[in-house]
Chain A
């Protein structure tokens, strides 16, 4: 696999022949697949431990979900990349439709309207939107071609694509996910070649916005909900209220810190088992891991994530189509934001926003979304020689 920054010469850009199933399987990035499975395996181990050494109630369910999602991932990777480009708009529209549906008749859970119940299924459309948006933006820039990227009108279009779902998600209210959508979209725009000037202007605007949010508190036009202000405050000064909102982060830090270099041993984490840790199976699973396996375990998982990121990034360099490259870039960015924000949160470096640890935390939708995303990225790598020329 080429690590060169520059693509091979123009001769590479030929029309790729239809690949046979065997050829596709040969071209599948098996190293990446193995890394994904290994990460999920760590998740199973931790869910088993969090349940007090029991497959129920979490590990067994998670294994089944992963098996299903893993199959779906391979299937997605084997489908022709052109088909995904053609369906990008449709998938985006569907995800947006679901988001609007959740706005209209979603069920209330955890103080926010996030789920849509369809029979036995419980969907979190905002999670699906993360992948759908990346897919739509990649298809958009592929269609746009290299010349028009920095024209104002053609910058406005992706902004609308990103901000519409972000606004819907923010009104649920789920600011964390809204922010993730915007960040993901920003990365795709950056990789597509949008000018540095644009990003500088946005950063400046965000700083001004942040100031406005801070100033608006307590006034009639208060921008965030009270609990979101409290979370930010808790983050800034977690020691202030040890039995209230700051309790979560404090207990998480104690769990991690008390793990030391080697950890307390598998199944022996006392913070977790004495129920100090909030949500030890979902958002705070990293704290359990760091408590039981210590610094070696924590840094090991972080390294595993970074190696996954590196392997996939390196693969993206050799993809002939703009669509394929941006798809991989966008999926990886989403994956990175997931684990970086989650780890920063449990270690007291970021406010408590509900972002799970990808492939490890218990949760059906986030698992599916990550695996679908990797399926698309793998698909782009399988079809790396197809430039998908625009007519």
Chain B
């Protein structure tokens, strides 16, 4: 039963002991208060001195960012000293006076000063604020010499990224720029390097894709400093691990030439080695100067880039998707041969159009090509022949063969945002367009039109696999990493009868090297270095039956945006294929006129490893080439005198011997 007495005793004992316990706790609290009193009132002065005087401060040390070089070790992205002026407010006698004196020693625009004052308001008095970066050496030296008379002013030297090639490699290398808060938050390793005042991070291209390896890892130095942070001595230093040096497969000379060659156009050129997949040039014009982004691009410059109709910010070579047009016809041909749907000598009659159900599908040649065999159909780029071939093969087998040549597959290279284009299938049509597949869709795919889209990089890969005949060559952008050469690539077998491929390669030869071929005027007139290619002209607008009746409008009569894309794919030399190339000139008109000469000229530079002899050009072309060489030299001279970044420039080499 319940014992009231015991219960009351227990309650009383609890209260006694709880009071005792509180007394003990009060005693402990008194000791704590006493210690606080001792620290903050008795010994306060001593600790205040300790806090104000010499202190040990750990600082992260930024390792040097890995350089990016071309395939022969020429610099594409390097580091140069960045001279900057930092100010600690509480150490200056008067901020106005300090700024006034500094303005006598260095250039400081009102805009820069405004930005500095903005930053100053957000920071506390003892914190370091950067006044100006990227000073030239003379101004930096002047400030340095006057430093003793400028308390609180700290000139310091760091590193900054420099892109000596400027816009020639903007889309491939990308650029670094100031780290945003979002990037800091998203960083899983919370790298202290990202928090340094002059930190930069790769925003685009290789700089972004290989950011982790390029950045290296932070070191740490411990310094003894005075009250406001003036360094007394370094106690220890761990330099960190420098970023890895990258050697790209890009050939600087060829890249420069390709960019120069398509100057003024909105175009892309991809040059690739068909044996190992090395990307020798990835040109996308127009481009931009990545150096402008490193210190933050101005509003005007940014708006100009953004509003440019030619879209300089987009890498057309890897992220521009175009209908491949007639350059796709080799795939249709191989698929048809592979399936036994056509034989090489079978003739198909081209009347200028083909009827499917109640619709007509037109050949680009209105009056028709007459009887066509495989070789002549490719040579003359007859559309009706390939409508018929595609119809016989069917979309499934056609898409299967296209996939083997890399169509619809995203190339794995170290550039972010590489597009995969589009290889349409009935399932895709249902999911994306919400309609069933029609026979007309198959016909359109057969001549590389319709919803079929490829990037110039994919066109180069397709051509490389054709010329290689045996292996599924994949592109490669990095050749050497931290001094270690990449392994020789191993490719999967293409799995197509080489006899079928040889038939199409022979037809490509006819395109370029036989009278009547669509690219005969853009041949290479040299017995050992001939090229074989295929033109393409991709329609970007729909031609109505009404327009056909009154005559299709010519490209010259159309606004730029509605003109056809000009395409050309090729490989060379004919007998021992080594290079594959794809050229797209956006809204450039016909492939044979706008794209083929570009491909020929770039290929020749590669084949002769420098300036080719003028007599290797077909009639008419040498004059253009001579003019181009003269312009190149003038540009080199202009560059020499007009370097706005004030850096010493080496001699401009038009070619790399």
Residues of A participating in the B interface, judged by any CB pair closer than 8 Å: 4-7, 10, 13, 52, 145-147, 187, 190-193, 242-243, 247, 253-261, 267-268, 270-271, 273-276, 290, 294-295, 298-299, 302, 305-306, 309-310, 313, 316-317, 320, 322, 325-326, 329, 333, 336, 340, 343-344, 347-349, 387, 389-390
Contact = CB atoms under 8 A, between A and B. Distances in A.
B48 A257 contact: yes
B21 A187 contact: yes
A311 B529 CA distance: 97
A282 B230 CA distance: 29
Contact of A257 (B2, B3, B17, B47): B47
B344 to A, nearest CB: 64
Contact of A191 (B12, B18, B50): B18
Contact of B8 (A10, A267, A273, A389): A10
Taking residues whose C-beta sits less than 8 angstroms from the other chain, chain B's interface range is: 35 or more
B7 interface: yes
Contacts of B51: 254-255, 257-258, 270-271
16 contacts: A7-B8, A7-B11, A145-B3, A146-B6, A257-B39, A257-B48, A257-B50, A273-B127, A275-B57, A290-B40, A294-B40, A295-B36, A313-B22, A329-B18, A329-B21, A347-B36
B634 interface: no
A5 B33 CA distance: 27
Contacts of A4: 15
A261 B32 contact: no
Given A190-B21, A322-B10, A322-B11, A257 B46 contact: yes
B35 A347 contact: yes
A295 to B, nearest CB: 4
B654 to A, nearest CB: 52
Interface string B506-543: 00000000000000000000000000000000000000
Contacts of A10: 4, 8
A193 B21 CA distance: 13
Given A145-B6, A309-B25, 11 more contacts: A4-B15, A5-B15, A187-B21, A190-B17, A191-B17, A191-B18, A242-B56, A243-B222, A257-B51, A274-B229, A329-B21
A310 B22 contact: yes
A192 B10 CA distance: 8
B25 A387 contact: no
The SS class assigned to the A binding surface is helix
Contacts of A267: 124
B29 A340 contact: yes
B170 to A, nearest CB: 35
Contacts of A320: 11
Given A6-B15, A193-B10, A326-B14, A256 B39 contact: yes
Contact of B36 (A146, A254, A299, A316): A299
B485 interface: no
Interface in B99-116: none
B43 interface: yes
Contact of B50 (A5, A258, A298, A336): A258
B47 A258 contact: yes
Given A10-B4, A147-B3, A271-B51, A295 B21 contact: no
Given A191-B21, A258-B52, A329-B14, A306 B8 contact: no
A164 B50 CA distance: 46
Contacts of A295: 36-37, 40-41
A15 to B, nearest CB: 11
B33 A299 contact: yes
B19 interface: yes
B403 interface: no
B360 interface: no
B44 interface: yes
B154 to A, nearest CB: 16
B96 to A, nearest CB: 23
B137 interface: no
Contacts of A309: 22, 25
Given A147-B3, A256-B36, A261 B15 contact: no
Contacts of B50: 254, 257-258
A247 B51 CA distance: 13
Contacts of B8: 7, 10
Contacts of A290: 36, 39-40
B28 interface: yes
* The 4 residue pairs across chains A and B that have the minimum distance between CB atoms: A257-B47, A258-B51, A146-B6, A146-B10
A333 B21 contact: yes
B2 A6 contact: no
B40 A270 contact: no
Nearest to A57: B185
A35 B591 CA distance: 81
A257 B22 contact: no
